[in-house]
Amino acid sequence: MIKKIPLPTVNRLSLYLKCFSELSAGNVEYVSSEQVARQIGLNPAQVRKDLAYFGKFGRRGFGYHVEQLKENISKILGTHKGVRVAVVGTGNLGSALLMYRGFEARGFKVVAGFDVDPDKVGWELDGVKIYDSEDMEKVIKKEKIEILIITTPAAVIPDIFSKLKKTPIKGVLNFAGKHLVSDEDIIIRNVDLALELEQLMFFLTNK
């Protein structure tokens, strides 16, 4: 469908999508690379180079067609049809992610939570039901869940993955603290909140 996109450009796809979504919501039809660059904090040449991967949406004198580029990027990301998500572990962080209002507009719908605590199982948070982790296999299939967000203690990760191997889950967003490595079956993206602070500190310390 498209040329192979370099990894740094992939990392910026979401930024472009967000920028075009905001412009689209404000009924802006065309935008220049300079405007996009300013909004994201990049240089315009980089923006033109990146967006060249997604086809001919630039029109000399007009700029980029916002709606077309927005649609094309969300197709490339795979979020245009909507993605069903579940959260495993409904402690403080898990509950916050389960109720997070920033997912839906970006194509992600949290449809289930999982927990081992009998005091939580069966309840709803913001309309999302908490299931027993024992029923994960069944619920994932029934609810057509594509991605799991894991926020459990690291110690129970092996147990969760042995369950996941029997499901169609192919992607995990891992907040569990322990860095996990993707394998053939499941792609893992690690989000480490302390790492975000460390990286910020690096630039404060070495600027």
Least Cα distance to 129 among 115, 148, 145, 141 occurs for 115
- Residue placing its CB nearer to a copy of itself in the complex, 87 or 139: 87
Given 10, 25, 45, 52, the residue binding a copy of itself (CB under 8 A): 10
- For residues 31-50, which are near a copy of itself according to CB under 8 A? 39-41
State the minimum distance, in angstroms, from the CB of residue 59 to a copy of itself: 25
Interface with a copy of itself, residue 95, by CB under 8 A: yes
CA 143 to chain centre: 19
Handedness of CA 98, 103, 105, 111 (dihedral sign): negative
Q: Kindly compute the dihedral angle of the four CA atoms of residues 76, 79, 81, 82, in this order, to the nearest 10 degrees.
A: 170
The tokens of 57 are what?
A: 């949406």
Name every residue whose Cβ is closer than 8 Å to that of residue 168 and which is 6 or more positions away in sequence.
Answer: 140, 141, 146
- Residue placing its CB nearer to a copy of itself in the complex, 162 or 181: 181
List of residues contacting a copy of itself (CB under 8 A) = 10-11, 13-15, 17-19, 39-41, 76-79, 83, 85, 92-93, 95-97, 99-100, 102-103, 105-108, 146-147, 149, 170-173, 177, 179, 181-182, 187, 189, 191-207
